[in-house]
Amino acid sequence: MTTENSETRPSTPNLEPLRQLTAKDRYLEGARAMLPFLVSIIPMSLAGGALGPASGLSALETLGLAMAANSGTAQFVAFSLVLQGASLVTLFLTTLVLGLRMLIYATVLREHFEDVPRGLKALVAFGLIDAIFFAAIDKLRDGTLNSHKHWYFLGASSLMYGVWMTCTAIGAVLGSLVPDLRSRGLDFPMAAMFVAMLVLSVTSRKLLAIAVVSGITVLAAATLPYNLGIVVAVVAGVATGGLWDLLAGRREAGTSSAVTPMEEN
Amino acid sequence: MSAVVMIALVGLAAFLPRYLPFVVLQDRKPSATAKDLLGYAPVAVLAALAVPPVLTPTGDGDRLTVLGPYLAGALVIVVVAYTSRHLLLSALAGTVVFFVLRAVMGS
């Protein structure tokens, strides 16, 4: 608690006419901003927890992977790669690629955290997820989130992380109670999740082209060792997107990705 | 593979992109092109993971299943997801179809 005492400071002429918000206010504000997301993450994380044992993981390994990834997508992808017996290199590279959009979030956010101690920065970074970024970025831009910014982030991420991991643990335990999930065809729910996520993220023709090229490449490269075909397919898909932009000649890229709404240019 | 190593690697791969921009290259901004390319990666990853189990349930990479529970379930997901824009609903619908077909076909 390094910055608890701002109530004594004269307030800047801003949108906070009554009083300065304390760190605790910000923490609760951040947590409250996440409440609408609970409706979707509770069933998702319960299901996600059950997918771990279906991939041949123990309940503890399932929870460990979920806690390490702190991303539904990265978690499901990790399960799927374990199920396929992928190598550690493929697992590492694929998780890294999935997290690359976080590079952009963190780059946009860092100017707001320059005076925050490193340890807290690391905590903010660890808890960073799409929902929190998009909830906070507008408030940072319009100046309503102007003090104790890291407490806002920590409030949001501790609620989301706590709920996600609790439900993942419950799902994993329930999933591991059912013996031999895998041979009952329970690998399909995972594939189902990917197909659904794919359909929902293909929002333009360019993204469709990327998905098609990636999908064809992964089939063609299925014989590569260590499941490296996935990495090759991702590179091919991203290259397709780059080529599309080049051929289109102008920069209308980005309309695609989740990253767009906050771009500065 | 060792579970601890696996979890540690996933944790590292998840944490580095989130944390590095806060502490290194403070004065550098990624180019617009780089941002675009980074934005394409998730769709490419999802496609690379969604396609093989649907078209090659056996996983051997050289047999396309033209019609079976996997492909039929996936088609249902595509339709429901496209119309409803709802992740869990569409995944669930496809999964139900998958298990019903499997039960019917007795496989």
B33: phi then psi, degrees, rounded to nearest 5: -60, -45
- Decide if pLDDT at A4 tops 50: no
Range of lowest pLDDT (A31-45, A87-101, B63-77): B63-77
Chain B CB contacts of A248 under 8 Å are none
Containing structural domain, residue B17: 3-105
Contact A233, B47 (CB under 8 A): yes
Question: For the residues A186-197, what does the mean pLDDT come to?
Answer: 80
Short-list B83, B38, B52, CA closest to A210: B38
Confidence of residue A226 (pLDDT cuts 50, 70, 90): low
Residues in CB range of A224: below 8 A, 6 or more apart: A232
d(CA B92, nearest CA chain A) in Å: 8
Chain B CB contacts of A121 under 8 Å are 19, 22-23
* Total count of domains within chain B: 1
The string of DSSP codes covering A56-109 is T--HHHHHHHHHHH-SHHHHHHHHHHHHTT--HHHHHHHHHHHTHHHHHHHHHH
Looking at residue A186, its pLDDT comes to 59
pLDDT per residue over A128-149, tens digit each? Answer: 998 898 788 878 888 888 888 9
Greatest C-alpha distance within chain B: 62
- Decide if pLDDT at A213 tops 50: yes
For A39, A118, A154, A198, B17, the CA distances from A121, given in Å and listed in that order, are: 28, 5, 10, 32, 13
Contact B48, A233 (CB under 8 A): yes
Tell me the ipTM for this assembly: 0.82
Distance CA A168, CA A161 (A): 10
- Decide if pLDDT at A260 tops 50: no
Q: How many Cβ atoms sit within 10 Å of the Cβ of residue A237?
A: 30
Looking at residue A69, its pLDDT comes to 95
Kindly determine whether residue A106 and residue B18, on different chains, have CB atoms separated by under 8 Å. Answer: yes
Nearest to B18 among A77, A99, A193 (CB): A99
Comparing A172 with A102, the larger pLDDT belongs to: A172
Range of lowest pLDDT (A6-10, A89-93, A189-193): A6-10
Selected residue of A198, A219, A256, A263 to mutate for chain B interface (largest B Cβ count, 10 A): A198
Question: What are the residue boundaries of the structural domains of chain A, listed by start?
Answer: 21-184, 202-258
Angle at A59 between CA A53 and CA A61, to 5 degrees: 95
Looking at residue A241, its pLDDT comes to 95
Chain A CB contacts of B92 under 8 Å are 192
Distance CA A49, CA A30 (A): 25
The residue ranges of chain B whose pLDDT is under 70 are 1, 25-30, 56-67, 106-107
Confidence of residue A95 (pLDDT cuts 50, 70, 90): very high
